[in-house]
């Protein structure tokens, strides 16, 4: 399919062929008919991408701060690699479309093929022939509403949420500062609500458009009569509320709004403006109420709502993102608002670059609402597979399922340096797989897992998807006769675990989990000093993991499984490596806290007993400070001590002397190459499948121990 793409590194904008996105439970596949270019929002996005590195840094100081923090945490080299991966990416543009349902996996069975729908969401409702949308960001279009009009629905929902924050009642006087596309829609919605509306903008054409579409009053910000006019309109009291829909780096809209609002009035910020709030003279004396409006409405940025499709109870959250979208479409149907005058240009998808030339000011042409039109004759869904290269086969021919930042930084480059053939890459979003295929010279890209599993030339599969999909993908790869490298964890629950174990026992193909720390050169050196001690070890591991909010995907049971299953598994495996023994018993306790933001199991003390008598202690901590190094590992036994300091350095204490040990990373390169080496020669995997299963089972038992307050035996029957 065709999609508008921007290279974030170079700023180049173009239309390219990418795989059709795939859908999973709770999603809808839609063939676009029209998509809206939101000039204000997309102008900023495109300009950021076109800026040089310094320009990007100036526009996103928040990301610069993250980079500097990451340098302290992971070192300069690893941070540079991460930044390069982020910069060298393709960006989808657009977030408001209208089209026809092709297929649906929504949970309630609300959408059927042929339904006309409006779609919302950055990275979902993109400028592309086909889009995959979460069900709570899809709304049916009434019969008498055209697809051109419905393409404005996302902007309508944003405007509606801003108005809801102001809570205007019938007859109130409201000022709208900024009469771009969002301001025009906001003004019409306020009029439909029975309000008297005064619009302000710096552009005379936009002021005129507002008047032509029925606004009561509209003036240029620079008009010297503005103050007297607003006083006359409000009888000297000021506006009941002021809604800022402007986009500017200045705080003038904030200052102006405070001047225009009545005593105890409301100011609602919908647009992007400088938030420099002066206490005097107006905010303090008038006791003004300043409110922010969050995008389309309740549900925005909530993974449970948007990604998992869980709606809020109607009685308690009357207006959600989706219900705002539906309300806007209903107003269009009732002709309470008129969007058609706001449509200034319509371009075919292939002419998207011309449209953006207008948005960026390269072509001087009046515009406000620009639509992209899609091929109405396109009825068949294109093939999911797109050929990119024609590399020769090798002994190891690899297919990647999932290729996010981690895979691009630590897995794919090491597979490539080993000399394996990169055959295909699959991600749920076609633009992502195309980006990775181009970057690393894969032979093909796709959004369909079957294009990897059914490919007879691929003999090795790397799985780097969200944790919830690991088990099913491992089983699918085993059934297809592939060797499997899966990023941790192996499974999220006992049911998945048993199915994976049964599949591996049946098909006998190698399954390897990415427990990289045991492969780190410093780990190898530390282990070597204990190999002849013939004595149980005591291992202390302290992990200053850092806080992750509850709405992070890793914390959601259905997706990430939590940090014990998803991260503590690393350290259980590392202990098995040092001891060459199996875990047999575990006891764990977490902190108690009434703070709802804290995930108590993220702050846990774990005691492990091993089959050779060794003991292991893991303190996994999320309530520490980021300035402290993340990991410290201490191994005691046989009169010796080995220490690893955040995998940056180490020490060996032996016979009263201390020897410094250099660290060359966390073992990502070594684990990939060790896996591929053994896979290519048909040798035993560098980590036995039994050890991997024991690690997985131990994480489940840790959770059981926290829940019951009792020690748990770790028993894995032999297959």
- The CATH number for 702's domain is 3.30.360.10
Domain assignment present for residue 471? The answer is: no
Check pLDDT > 80 for residue 63.
Answer: no
Question: Mean pLDDT throughout 617-629?
Answer: 94
What's the pLDDT tens digit per position in 438-453?
999 999 999 999 999 9
- Alpha carbon distance 355, 591 (integer Å): 56
Last residue of a domain, one of 292, 325, 355: 292
Structure token pair of residue 312: 């809020």
Question: Mean pLDDT throughout 681-695?
Answer: 95
Please check whether residues 552 and 699 belong to one and the same domain: yes
Last residue of a domain, one of 465, 482, 500: 465
Question: Mean pLDDT throughout 672-692?
Answer: 95
Please check whether residues 104 and 238 belong to one and the same domain: no
- Alpha carbon distance 66, 71 (integer Å): 9
More confident residue, 199 or 394: 199
What's the pLDDT tens digit per position in 317-361?
999 999 999 999 999 999 999 999 999 999 999 999 999 999 988
Please check whether residues 368 and 388 belong to one and the same domain: no
Check pLDDT > 90 for residue 70.
Answer: no
Last residue of a domain, one of 345, 373, 401: 373
Write down the residue that tokens 């009035």 correspond to: 265
Domain assignment present for residue 580? The answer is: yes
Q: What is the pLDDT of residue 472?
A: 97
Please check whether residues 117 and 17 belong to one and the same domain: yes
- Tell me, what DSSP letter sits at residue 25? T
- Alpha carbon distance 482, 460 (integer Å): 5
H-helix or E-strand containing 146? none
Backbone CA torsion sign across 463, 464, 466, 467: positive
Please check whether residues 113 and 171 belong to one and the same domain: no
Cβ proximity of 137 and 306 under 8 Å: yes
Q: What is the pLDDT of residue 76?
A: 66
Please check whether residues 367 and 405 belong to one and the same domain: no
What's the pLDDT tens digit per position in 204-254?
999 999 999 999 899 999 999 999 999 999 999 999 999 999 999 999 999
Q: What is the pLDDT of residue 9?
A: 78
Cβ proximity of 632 and 657 under 8 Å: no
Domain span holding position 207: 155-292
Strands (E) located in 482-613: 483-486, 511-513, 538-544, 583-590, 604-610
Long-range contacts for 108-117 (Cβ within 8 Å, ≥24 apart)?
A: 108/135, 110/135, 110/140, 111/28, 111/135, 111/138, 111/140, 115/140, 116/140, 116/141, 116/147, 116/150, 117/28, 117/30, 117/141
Cβ proximity of 499 and 471 under 8 Å: yes
Please check whether residues 80 and 200 belong to one and the same domain: no
Question: Mean pLDDT throughout 286-298?
Answer: 95
Residue 67 has phi, psi (to 5 degrees) of -65, -45
Domain assignment present for residue 178? The answer is: yes
- Summary mean pLDDT of the chain: 93
Please check whether residues 559 and 707 belong to one and the same domain: yes
Check pLDDT > 80 for residue 673.
Answer: yes
Please check whether residues 397 and 353 belong to one and the same domain: no
Gyration radius of the chain over CA positions: 29
Domain assignment present for residue 378? The answer is: no
Please check whether residues 315 and 423 belong to one and the same domain: no
Please check whether residues 409 and 525 belong to one and the same domain: no
Predicted structure pTM score = 0.88
Question: Mean pLDDT throughout 648-655?
Answer: 94
Check pLDDT > 60 for residue 60.
Answer: no
More confident residue, 203 or 663: 203
What's the pLDDT tens digit per position in 96-152?
999 999 999 999 999 999 999 999 999 999 999 999 999 999 999 999 999 999 999
Q: What is the pLDDT of residue 717?
A: 80
Please check whether residues 193 and 134 belong to one and the same domain: no
Q: Check which CATH number belongs to the domain holding 259 and give it.
A: 3.40.50.720
Q: What is the pLDDT of residue 316?
A: 96
What's the pLDDT tens digit per position in 295-326?
999 999 998 999 999 999 999 999 999 999 99
Strand 369-373 and strand 343-348: the pairing is parallel
Residue 511 three-state SS: strand
- Alpha carbon distance 312, 305 (integer Å): 8
Structure token pair of residue 322: 């989706």
Confidence of residue 11 (pLDDT cuts 50, 70, 90): confident
Q: What is the pLDDT of residue 581?
A: 97
Question: Mean pLDDT throughout 158-162?
Answer: 97
Structure token pair of residue 618: 């893991």
Residue 404 has phi, psi (to 5 degrees) of -80, -165
Check pLDDT > 70 for residue 47.
Answer: no
Q: Check which CATH number belongs to the domain holding 342 and give it.
A: 3.90.180.10
Domain assignment present for residue 443? The answer is: yes
Q: What is the pLDDT of residue 73?
A: 59
Strands (E) located in 331-487: 343-348, 369-373, 386-387, 397-401, 421-426, 444-446, 460-463, 483-486
Q: What is the pLDDT of residue 298?
A: 96
Helix 689-708, helix 494-507: angle, nearest 10: 170
Confidence of residue 83 (pLDDT cuts 50, 70, 90): low
Domain assignment present for residue 577? The answer is: yes
Share of the chain above pLDDT 90, in %: 85
Distances (CA, A) of 153 to 29, 77, 187, 308, 550: 18, 44, 15, 22, 30
Q: What is the pLDDT of residue 53?
A: 58
Domain assignment present for residue 494? The answer is: no
Confidence of residue 574 (pLDDT cuts 50, 70, 90): very high
Strands (E) located in 89-228: 90-92, 96-104, 116-120, 130-134, 138-140, 173-177, 196-201, 217-220
Write down the residue that tokens 């109870």 correspond to: 313
- Alpha carbon distance 554, 602 (integer Å): 11
Cβ proximity of 504 and 477 under 8 Å: no
Check pLDDT > 70 for residue 577.
Answer: yes
Domain assignment present for residue 475? The answer is: no
Number of domains in the chain: 4
Distances (CA, A) of 130 to 92, 101, 116, 394, 622: 13, 10, 13, 35, 41
Residues 484, 490, 495: CA angle, nearest 5 degrees: 120
């Amino acid at each position: 399919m065709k999609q508008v793409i921007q290279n974030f590194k170079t700023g180049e904008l173009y239309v390219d062929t990418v795989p059709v996105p795939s859908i999973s439970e709770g999603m809808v596949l839609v063939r676009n008919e029209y998509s809206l270019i939101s000039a204000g929002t997309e102008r900023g996005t495109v300009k950021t991408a076109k800026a040089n590195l310094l320009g990007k840094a100036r526009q996103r100081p928040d990301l610069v701060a993250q980079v500097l923090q990451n340098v302290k945490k992971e070192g300069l080299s690893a941070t540079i690699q991460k930044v390069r991966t982020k910069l060298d990416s393709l960006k989808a543009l657009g977030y408001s479309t209208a089209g026809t349902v092709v297929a649906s996996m929504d949970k309630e069975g609300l959408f059927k093929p042929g339904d006309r729908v409006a779609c919302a969401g950055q990275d979902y409702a993109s400028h592309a022939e086909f889009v995959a949308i979460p069900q709570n960001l899809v709304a049916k279009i009434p019969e008498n509403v055209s697809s051109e009009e419905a393409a404005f629905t996302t902007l309508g929902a944003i405007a509606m949420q801003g108005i809801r924050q102001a809570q205007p009642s019938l007859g109130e006087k409201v000022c709208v500062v900024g009469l771009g596309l969002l301001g025009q829609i906001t003004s019409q919605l306020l009029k439909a609500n029975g309000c008297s509306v005064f619009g302000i903008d710096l552009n005379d054409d936009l002021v005129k458009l507002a008047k032509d579409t029925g606004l009561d009053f509209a003036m240029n910000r620079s008009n010297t009569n503005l103050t007297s006019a607003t006083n006359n309109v409000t009888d000297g009291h000021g506006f009941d509320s002021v809604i800022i829909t402007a986009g500017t780096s200045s705080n003038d809209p904030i200052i102006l709004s405070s001047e225009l609002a009545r005593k105890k009035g409301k100011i609602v910020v919908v647009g992007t403006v400088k938030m420099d709030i002066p206490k005097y003279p107006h905010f303090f004396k008038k006791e003004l109420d300043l409110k922010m409006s969050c995008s389309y409405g309740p549900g925005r940025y909530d993974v449970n709502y948007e990604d998992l499709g869980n709606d809020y109870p109607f009685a308690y959250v009357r207006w959600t993102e989706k219900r705002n979208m539906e309300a806007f479409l209903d107003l269009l149907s009732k002709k309470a608002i008129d969007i058609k005058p706001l449509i200034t240009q319509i371009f075919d998808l292939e002419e998207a670059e011309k449209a953006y030339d207008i948005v960026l000011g390269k072509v001087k042409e009046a515009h406000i609402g620009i639509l992209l039109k899609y091929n109405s004759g396109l009825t068949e869904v294109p093939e999911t597979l797109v050929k990119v290269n024609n590399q020769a086969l090798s002994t190891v021919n690899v297919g990647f399922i999932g290729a996010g930042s981690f895979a691009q930084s630590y897995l794919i480059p090491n597979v490539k340096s080993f000399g394996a053939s990169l055959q295909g890459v699959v991600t749920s979003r076609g633009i992502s797989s195309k980006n990775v295929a181009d970057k690393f010279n894969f032979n093909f890209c796709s959004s369909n897992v079957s294009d990897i599993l059914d490919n007879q030339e691929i003999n090795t599969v790397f799985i780097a998807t969200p944790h919830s999909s690991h088990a099913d993908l491992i089983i699918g790869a085993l059934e297809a006769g592939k060797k499997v490298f899966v990023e941790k964890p192996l499974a999220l629950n006992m049911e998945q675990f048993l199915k994976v174990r049964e599949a591996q026992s049946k098909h006998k193909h190698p399954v390897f989990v990415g427990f990289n720390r045991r492969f780190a050169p410093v780990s190898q050196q530390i282990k070597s000093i204990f190999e002849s001690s013939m004595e149980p070890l005591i291992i202390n591991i302290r992990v200053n993991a850092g806080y992750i909010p509850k709405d992070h995907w890793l914390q959601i049971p259905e997706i990430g499984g939590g940090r014990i299953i998803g991260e503590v598994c690393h350290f259980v495996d590392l202990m098995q490596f040092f001891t060459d023994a199996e875990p047999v018993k575990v006891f764990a306790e977490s902190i108690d806290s009434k703070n709802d933001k804290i995930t108590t199991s993220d702050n846990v003390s774990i005691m492990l007993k091993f089959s050779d008598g060794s003991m292991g202690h893991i303190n996994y901590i999320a309530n520490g400070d980021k300035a402290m190094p993340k990991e410290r590992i201490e191994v005691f036994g046989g009169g010796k001590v080995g220490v690893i300091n955040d995998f940056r350095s180490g020490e060996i204490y032996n016979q009263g002397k201390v020897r410094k040990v250099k660290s060359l990373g966390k073992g990502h390169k070594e684990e990939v190459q060790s896996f591929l080496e053994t896979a290519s020669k048909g040798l035993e995997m560098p980590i036995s499948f039994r050890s991997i299963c024991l690690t997985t089972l131990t994480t489940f038992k840790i959770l059981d121990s926290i829940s019951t307050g009792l020690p748990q035996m770790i028993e894995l029957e032999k297959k």
